[in-house]
Each structure stands twice: as structure tokens, then as C-alpha cells.
Structure 1
Amino acid sequence: MTAPHVPSELRTPRLLLRAPRPGDAGAVHAAVHASLPELRPWMVWAQEPLDLPGTAENLRGAAERYAAREELRLLVWTPDGRELIGSSGFHALDWRVPKGEIGYWIATPHTGHGHAQEVAGALTTFGLDTLGLRRIEIRCDSANARSARIPRALGYALDATLRHNAVAADDPAQLRDTLVFSVTR
């Protein structure tokens, strides 16, 4: 299967999901840095966050990969596009199957409002119905109970617990288990 046309933005009832642009660097940089205490236990990239120029370069690369349909990172905004809520999207895309993995993080001021579940639910529907994906995964550290609630609430099946397959994002001396959830069509 070849990668289908993918719109540069999607909307949910409360959110705007939009492909990244280098001009988003200030908002992304600020949201990441304000959320580091909550991100560091789970995200390897949060251990040494990028500076502003590095964030702009990262977003340029993400925009290029989006255009090439290699990775579909989406920034999550308020409906008017003025305030960044977080980031999500499809990673580990394999158009031969076709399959992808949904990842997400929500900026600290916006956690606890159901945004991650709303985004993951919208991307699940979009992935299955529009992109034609046959398998979508959500993976998380087994200790990340908040993240693990999302695929369960969306009807994903727990395929596996991969024991000692990763190290803790904030402590490479600690082994962690990874939960692998999936939905298939």
C-alpha cells in the first residue's frame, strides 16, 4: 500500500490537530520546558530537552517527514490554534502492512481534562477509516498508569507486556516493562 493523502489538520470537538511548522518552535519549547517534571519519568527526549533553535530544527524535520508520510506528528492546539495543548501523531508507520503507533504527551497545564484520550480516539478513527491502517498500537511504560488508561478506554486490546525490554527514561539503571496495546481491522 502506498501512503494516502493526509490532510495537514484534523479537528476534534475541542481541539485542532495540525502538522508541525518551524514557526511553532516557541510554543513547543515553552510547553516542553514547563512540563519537564511530568515528562521526564516517561520520555527519553525530555531528559535533555532541545533549546529553541534545536526545537525549530526538530519541527522542520517533522514537517518533512509528515510531507513524505514517514511520520505523522501532529501538534495539539486549542480550537483557535493559539495555545499548544501537546503533541501526538503516528510513529513507526509501515505502509506495507499498513500499521502505525500512536504516541502522545499533554502539557502540564492541560492534563486531566481528557485531551490525550480525545486525541488518541480521533487518531484511531482517522487511522482506521481514512488512512486504511490495519493495526494501530499504543505503547507505554507499565508504570505509567495514566497513559495506560487511554488505550483501555478506547477499546484497545493488551497484546503483550514486554518484560525488561526498556530502561526507565529518567534512570537507565532501572529496567522497565512495556505494555503493547493494539486495535486491528
Structure 2
Amino acid sequence: MTFPNLPTVFETERLIIRSPQPGDGPNLFDAVVDALADLRQFPASLPWAMETPSVDTSESYCVASSESFQARKDFPFLFIDKTSHIVVGSGGLHRPRWAVPAFELGFWGRSPLVGRGLFSEAADALVNFAFAHFDAKRVEAICDDLNVRSIRVCERIGMQLEGVLRHERRAPDGSLRNTRIYSKCERTETTCKK
């Protein structure tokens, strides 16, 4: 798909949201380290968080993410605080299904900043970005059934719970985990009626 005027950066009230770029690795690494204990509670959903983080790994992610964004294969973003200019988290619009179009919303953030509404602000902005720039008809979020913080974000930004997939994933310890599916759809006569 070609989107010649697709912005790589936009702003909300408190955040600059932009595509990762080469050189962002050290700042992203700091955010990952700050969030790691919380992220590792959900190994079935976030297997990358089980890896040992490093500046090199974060830099490689930023380079690959920039290339994926430019190729219109994936749409990752960093969440940057307008005041401090630190990376507070990351997220994106993943797994595009252009025939619909539909996307999977993902997001995470630094643990000390949870509870301030920053990640709801970022998630809502990403959903709106999908509707405005891709003419998306559906954005979905897939959450571990025990991830109360992500569930709250989904509900706060008006996503609807579509269902719970029981025993959908297996965690590294062998336990079975349930997965919640949330969505927000473009309001039309034939989609996402309540």
C-alpha cells in the first residue's frame, strides 16, 4: 500500500508519538528496562520481554521498525514525553489486513508512569491515526486476561470486549492463559453494531 503523505510523527496533549529512527536505541532501552518487571508478568503475550534487554537489541529494533514503517509493513511508534523528551513507552498498529483495512493495536509503557493516563492517551491517538490515515474499519487489541492495566486502557478508550479465548496461549511455565479480544470499529450501518 502506498500512503505518500503518511506522517511519521504526531502529537497529543502530553506526548510526541513518532516512528522509531536509527539512534533511538539507547532511549528505548531505558524505557524497556523501566517496564520489564511488569511486561514479564505476561510472557505468553509478550515473549520479547523474556529476552535480556540490551542497547544493541533496542537499536536493532529501532532500525528494523523504521524500515518496516517506510515499507508500510508495520507501524510502530515511540511515545515521547513533551516536557522531559524521554521515551515513556512504545506501541503501534501491527499486522495490517489491507483488505478490510484492520490493525492490531499494541502498547506498553514505563512502570513508574502507569496510572497517569499517558498510555490511554497514546492508545487512543493510535486508534484515531488508523481511522484517519488508513481509513481503517477495525482496530483490535489482544490482551492477556490477567493484564488489568491493558484491559483498563482498552475500555477507557471505548474499545468493546468481543470475547475471551480460553486456554489460547501457553506461558513458558506451561500454564494456559486466556486472551481477551477488544475492538473499535468505524461506525457504519453494517459494522460493529452494539
TM-score by length of structure 1 reads: 0.92
Partners of 2:108 and 2:93 in 1: how far apart?
13
Partners of 1:124 and 1:108 in 2: how far apart?
22
| Cα contact 1:3–1:95 (8 A) shared by 2 | no
Identity within the alignment, % = 31
| Cα contact 2:80–2:87 (8 A) shared by 1 | yes
Instruction: Summarize the Cα distance change of 1:34–1:155 in structure 2 as closer, same or farther, 3 Å threshold.
Output: closer
Partner of 1:25: 25
Partner of 2:183: 182
Partners of 1:167 and 1:19 in 2: how far apart?
31
Partners of 1:49 and 1:8 in 2: how far apart?
29
Alignment coverage as a number of residue pairs: 182
| Cα contact 2:14–2:81 (8 A) shared by 1 | yes
Q: Which runs of 5+ in 2 are unaligned?
A: 187-194
Report the RMSD for the aligned CA atoms in angstroms.
1.5
Partners of 1:55 and 1:155 in 2: how far apart?
31
Q: Does 1:36 align with 2:36?
A: yes
| Cα contact 2:33–2:53 (8 A) shared by 1 | no
| Cα contact 2:32–2:53 (8 A) shared by 1 | no
Partner of 2:189: none
Partners of 2:47 and 2:68 in 1: how far apart?
20
Moved over 3 A (4+): none
Structure 1 residue 22 displacement after superposition: 2.0
Q: Which amino acid aligns with 2:180?
A: L
| Cα contact 2:65–2:74 (8 A) shared by 1 | yes
TM-score by length of structure 2 reads: 0.88
Aligned pairs (5 A) from 1:25-104: 25-42=25-42, 43-79=46-82, 82-104=85-107
Structure 1 residue 36 displacement after superposition: 1.5
What whole-Å deviation, never above 9, does each CA across 1:5-28 have from its counterpart, x for those lacking one? 421101001100010012110011
Q: Which amino acid aligns with 2:174?
A: A
| Cα contact 2:19–2:69 (8 A) shared by 1 | yes
Partner of 2:123: 120
Aligned pairs (5 A) from 1:2-21: 2-4=1-3, 5-21=5-21
Q: Which runs of 5+ in 1 are unaligned?
A: none
Partners of 1:163 and 1:111 in 2: how far apart?
27
Structure 1 residue 92 displacement after superposition: 1.0
Partner of 1:166: 169
Aligned partner (choices 138, 144, 147) of residue 135 of structure 1 = 138
